[in-house]
Structure 1
C-alpha cells in the first residue's frame, strides 16, 4: 500500500511538472520543478487517508518554506486545468 502511494505521488508530480514545463518559460520551469521535488517529504499529509488533524513534519514545513510563492501557485493552477485538458469534469474540491 505504501509503495502504491509513492507511485501515485510520483505520477502526479510528473504530470504537474510536464504541464508546467509547457506553460512556463524553461528557466522558471526548471527552477520550480527542482524546488517542487523537495515536497516529497510532505506526501504522508496529502495522500488519501491522511488524518485531517495530522501535523506536517518539520521536514515538510521546511521544504514548503523553500518553494517560491509563484511556483506553488502556478503549479496548483496548472494542476487544476489538467482534467479539462483530458476531457474530464472539472475538479470540485469542497470540504468533506
Structure 2
C-alpha cells in the first residue's frame, strides 16, 4: 500500500498536470470545451484528488474567515 506522503505527492502532481485545463475554467472563457491535452490530464488524474481539492477549497473559506463560495 502507498503511504500518505507518496499519495499526497502523486495527487499534487496530478493536479499540477491539470493546469492545461485552467484557461477553460476562467470566468469569461470563450471556448469552454476541453482540448485533448486537458482530457488527457483529466483522465490521468485520480478522481479522489479532484474531489478532495474541490471539497477543501469550499471549506477553506470558513477556516480563513472569508465569504463562502456560491458556485
TM-score by length of 2: 0.85
What's the C-alpha RMSD, in Å, of the aligned pairs? 1.3
Misfit runs of 4+, over 3 Å: none
Shift of 1:88: 1.0
Structure 1, gaps ≥5 residues long: 1-24
Aligned twin of 1:90: 68
Structure with greater helix share of residues:
1
| 1:33 and 2:25 aligned | no
Are 2:41 and 1:73 equivalent residues in the alignment? no
The C-alpha deviation readout for 1:39-67, integer Å capped at 9, x for no partner, is 1110110112113x531110001100111
Structure 2 gaps of 5+ residues are none
